[in-house]
Structure 1
Amino acid sequence: MVRIKCGLAGLFAAIFLAATLGAAAGAGGFYLAGSRAFTGVSLDGLDVGGCDPATLTDIVRELGEHVERQPVVLIYDGHRYTIMPAEIGARIDVPGTVRAVLRAGRHGSLAERARAIVLARRQGLLVSLSVSVDRKRLRDVLLKLASEINIEPRSATLDIETGTIVPERPGRRLVLHRLEAGVMEAAGRVREREVVVPVEIIPPKVGIADIKRLGIAHLVSSYRTLFDPSNSNRVHNIRLTALKLNGTLVRPGGIFSFNETVGPREREYGFLEAREIVSNEFVPGIGGGVCQVASTLYNAVLLANQEIIERHPHSLPVTYVPLGRDATVYYGTLDLRFQNVLPYPILVQAEVTGSEITTSIIGSKPPSVEVRVITERMEREDPPVIERVSRDIPQGERVVEQEGSCGYLVTTVRLVVKNGKEVRRETVSVDRYPPVPAIVRVGGWSPSLLDLSFLSHI
């Protein structure tokens, strides 16, 4: 331990000081002019016992300038990732650290403080540098690292074409809250500024043994939709959602919940920002693209003749499924849920290849009926036109500010056919997609409206 001569106080003098300041200091403790750190108190290995506030301030400031130039090193699987304090807004709190040093041994009752002083002399009392960190910047840095480390678990699945079982694979996830705490602690240390990245292993939901035991070997239904492969963030969200969805087992009578299966759509869980529909508008949002996976699954579930418990249409038409066959989801509010009405378990599979996503329902028996989903009725509603007078453009001119789009009223029906005969017809949904109004700016300015009377005064 490095020692600094600061005029160390004797043990009995320290105990007397604790007693005389007891009433004033209170349980929280504070320092008065002329007070000193107790003997045995060290600041991150530096002996500062007996130092007064001014000396401590100089020491802490010098230590702070040093540590604020030193990186925090994260270690995972043989790799080293460095974080400079400036990246996360890490600063040493000089007054806060000085207060912590001077309060050491001054907590609690008189007896507790006396014990702390004795222990400080015999064993030492360690105080750490107080550090402040920009939590948002720290989280952004760690989320970027998490995107490199995290791997979603992959359940065992059935290859429909070959009939073979694709084995499962465990996943891994960076434990964000533990790493945040570790980095904040290391950012205030003079030495030992390395942090081992905490990672948890995530087991897959379904293994090869489960598929074999349940006899899951037959395709019940499947549905495919296309997406734009150039929209990288949206593609990422679609792939991530498919991985979370893939390999979900639903028992007979069991209820599937999309939100419970996929989980929150947040950056912490790997989702990125992409366009999504909110309140009749396309806006950027974390998890854009998830609804396409939900809509694709919804159609596979309809074709598997499952009972739909909850489903919500978008407020605007989407391009990847026919009108009336979309499903919007929002964690905590809007869900897609269905009940497995078959007498055997089913496996939900989702696979992304190229520019398409396919969802499939796999069971232990081939389907005994044919299911068709049709649009029975569609009514079109022309968009209203909203005119707004504007003095910014000449009178008589019209400028389209927003293109309108038609609205629709759609009735979707499911037909169940057995041996070529229709045995059941049911209305799945009646959905209204309201029209989006066209907004037109109409010129309201003309030279005749210009007041030139001021010219007579020139």
Structure 2
Amino acid sequence: MAADHERSDNEAERTDVLPPVPPEGDSERTDRISDRPLTTEAPTVVGTGWGGGPWPWAGWLTAGAPNPGAPTAPTMPAAPVGAPATRWRRWRRPGLVAACVVGAFALLYGLDLVTSQGDVPRGVVVAGVDVGGMDRTTAEQRLHERVDPRLARPVPVRAGDVNTTVDPVAAGLGVDWPATLAAAGEQPLNPWTRLTSLFTARRVDVVPRVDGAKLAAAVQGLRGKVDRAPVEGTVRFEGTEPVPVEPKAGQQLDVDGATSALRSHWADGEPVQVPVGTTPVRTSPEAVRQALDSVARPAVSGPVVVHGEGRDAVIDPTAIAGALSFEPAASGGWLTAKLDQQKLIAALKPQLAPTERPGQDARIVFDTGRPTVLPSVDGHGVDWGKSLAGLLDVVKRTDNRAITAQYVDQPAKLTTDAANKLGITDVIGEFTTGGFAQDSGMNIHRVADQVNGAIVKPGETFSLNGYTGPRTAAQGYVEAGVIEHGAPAREIGGGISQFATTLYNAAYFAAMTDAGHKEHSYYISRYPPAREATVFQNPDGSSVIDLKFRNDDPTGVAIQTIWTPQSITVRLWGTKRYSVESIPGQRRDFTPPNTVTQPAGPNCHEGNGAPGFTTDDTRVIRDLSGREVRRQTHTVKYDPQPKIVCAPPPPRGRP
């Protein structure tokens, strides 16, 4: 019993130091090892450890015959049965797996390097064509096949919200294929890069061959299609139908960015996105809809009645539509409605004219040969500002569409008393010209009638174009002769320059201040040199060349015109303060005329021409005591009037 007890203790002690029970196969091998005799003598080393050294557990394993070639390890205490073998197996299996994986990877890496040497790297895409993994010759051939056909086709371009095209040939765009493939790079040596190239694509931009001047011209050509000013939202009318206008931001082509984008992506086979700058608008589609629904549509839903004194007028939807407009509010976001009062007055005034009493300013007449004041008359009429002030609120309604006209007394701007105090009593300047043709005389007569009796108050400036307004056939003017580019021509209102010269000289001798005039380009012999004037208007009546003078006297000036079939006289009446002397200068710096040949016919008038020259005129102004007040010299350079030759057309050659 004692022996058995002792054995159990030993086994228990041994069990305490043994590792966990291995799987069944390992248990069998452990049992076999355990049957071998153990010894505490120096064990035989089986194999070597890391770096050629002994395995860490070599001193523990004692089973089997000694290995005569193995080194002897120091004597170590006996190891527990089974421990060294189990630990060795745990280390061996993962190591073998790792070694196999590393070896296989190394083998595949080496094969990949050998087989792909000199090729385009895997995953490379050029102009939308996958050429990865190909040799360079094959890759270039593939690019020529796939891409070259589209190189001559228009390149689609997207610029903001504009779709257009660019002709690549005209834009000087081409591709350098060898340089493009060279830009793809060489096969990478990094194992990870080579691995990821199996699953990814890398885009390589084409290397362009570009004619810079042609490309710049093509990009500038895009601006006409792309650039636009911002369009604010509004509502316009087609007749009486309101039409919404959606807001649209402005855009401007980014020239540098567009040039770069076309150089890099024109051959990609996809629309080239080119950058644009934008100019925002202040309105919104919601603002347009609100203005359309709340103002525009109600405004033209029916007429508006205007109650006058004893008579009514009507603003029909057509007149409302013509006067109503919209503009962005000052704070932005919404639209503000506006009514053009002048257009509304034009529609209403003829209807309400019988309810008004026109006023009349005091006038100067010359029925007795001397200036006489024709008394002024005060008027009574519609105060349009007050009458139309609330109309915008009325047109927003669809019912109760009526307003009441407000009337006011309208005193004359120039009263009888004020006219009598202007001091218009003496002739202060006068001039006469003659020698005009009958048709020119008709125009001179017409303008003289318009100007006769005109009053220039102290400090005011008289403008001939401004006073007469448009001088067209509708105002009673006819076609007459003019000088155009040195040759005779005809146009409506011809001959007015003679009246302008006559008026200029009358103001000259009245000591009026010159406020702007222009001489004829060519000297006309019936006028004094450097002391004449011309005028000109556009067909719409807008002024181009005008005659102006200012009254700097403390008293007023009245203009009298006297027309006869042979002459025109202009007199300025006022208060006599000055005497005026004209001192003509010598002609100098003559320039000969050139010859102009025109086709023979009724419109060609031959002439010998005249030389050009430069001359002066000095105006000396003295007070009534003879003291010189001021002296002014004016210099004029006249162009030579060309010699006109009428030549028959050259004979036609035989067919």
TM-score (norm 2): 0.34
**Structure whose alpha-carbon radius of gyration is higher:** 2
Structure having the higher strand fraction is 1
Q: Which has the higher contact order (CA 8 A, sep 6+)?
A: 1
TM-score (norm 1): 0.48
